[in-house]
Amino acid sequence: DIQLLHDGIWGHICLSSPAPETIGKVLCRQLGEDGTNGQIIQMPGDYKWAGEGPVWYHQLHCYGNESHIQQCKHNEPVKKLYQTHCPGTKISTLICQKIPLNLKSTNTAVQFGYVEANIVKRWHPLCKVNIHAARLICQGYVQDPNYARFRYIGIQRESYNLLNYTAPPININCKGKENTIEECQIKSMHMTFHTSYIPTGSDVCPKRLVQVQCPTAKNLIVGFEFRLEDSVRGLLLTKAKNETSWIPVCATRWSYNNSRVLCRSMGYDSKS
């Protein structure tokens, strides 16, 4: 739990910032740590801090390259808030090291499964990601993470309890310019198993978890073989591996990337 000292009193931190993910880098440097992987874990909007003490609300903007929080742009003086109300980002955990990720694969042939992140020695399941986050996750498993996929899998309370998670699920939101997960926004969520309507953008994880797939060019098409009609060009033919007859491929919305994948799977140079 990271706190702010103001007027001689330590209190929890509530920040208003357009880029809260950059603040972790600055805080880590200020504490004498490497700020490269600095990250803060944002708490849900209705999260209530344990224990007593004030909540300090502060508006500031950091670019991420500052060495001290005082070097960031401060829009107004620090204010004291009631613990039940924080209009900005609730900060609970500061991380100054890389976040270990684990892909609990259900099929090792295609590196597909649930994703979990180790934050302060506790494994958090992932509730929500976007395609940019999925690609960064797949960096540790395949050479080309551009084929990364993700999907949401519904989960019931009984199945979730069997996973033995002691930490809440998290969301990872990346913009596409990051090189590591630590540069993305990470937010803690509440897991719920109620079936009532949950509005978009809420801090609730609606009885689901993320599965990420990190396929290579070859295992994108497991179970089928492909060949060209005359070895270098012509009709694309396919057959199931347990069949003997080749048939033409019929597809709609065929893309250049599809062609590159199939060329690599057949041993050709995908650039051509």
Question: What is the C-alpha R_g of the chain?
Answer: 23
Q: Which tokens in the block code for residue 21?
A: 């993910």
CATH number of 101-213, picked from 3.40.50, 3.40.225, 1.10.286, 3.10.250: 3.10.250
Q: CA 80: distance to chain centroid?
A: 32
Does the structure show a pLDDT above 80 at 109? Answer: no
- Contact of 231 with 208, CB cutoff 8 Å: no
Mean pLDDT across the stretch 231-248? Answer: 74
What is the average pLDDT score of the chain? 81
Specify the range with the lowest mean pLDDT, choosing from 38-42, 82-86, 220-224, 230-234: 220-224
Mean pLDDT across the stretch 73-92? Answer: 76
Please write the tens of the pLDDT for every residue from 242-255.
Answer: 667 788 887 777 78
In degrees, to the nearest 5, what angle opens at C-alpha 185 toward C-alphas 179 and 186?
Answer: 115
Q: Domain ranges for the chain, please list them.
A: 4-95, 101-213, 219-265
Rounded CA separation 164/43 (Å)? 21
Q: Give the CATH H-level superfamily of domain 4-95.
A: SRCR-like domain (3.10.250.10)
- What are the two backbone dihedrals, phi and then psi, of residue 2, each rounded to the nearest 5 degrees? -100, 135
Listing DSSP states for the chain in one string gives ---EEETTEEEEEEEE-S-GGGHHHHHHHHTTS--TT-EEEEEPTT---SSS--EEEEEEE--S--SSGGGSEE-S--EEE-TT--SSEEEEEEE-S---EEEEEEETTTTEEEEEEEETTEEEEEEE--HHHHHHHHTTT-S-GGG-EEEEEE--HHHHHHTT--S--EEEE--S--SSGGGSEEEE-EEE---S---TT-SEEESEEEEEE---TTGGGTTEEEEETTSSSS-EEEEETT----EE---SS--HHHHHHHHHHTTS-TT-
Specify the range with the lowest mean pLDDT, choosing from 10-19, 45-54, 160-169, 174-183: 45-54
pTM, two decimals, is: 0.70
- Contact of 16 with 58, CB cutoff 8 Å: yes
Q: What is the pLDDT of residue 91?
A: 75
How far are the Cα atoms of 7, 43, 81, 235 from residue 53, in angstroms, in the given order? 13, 17, 10, 71
Please write the tens of the pLDDT for every residue from 154-202.
Answer: 989 988 888 888 888 999 999 999 999 998 989 888 888 876 666 666 7
- Contact of 27 with 99, CB cutoff 8 Å: no
Q: Tokens 């600055």, residue? A: 26
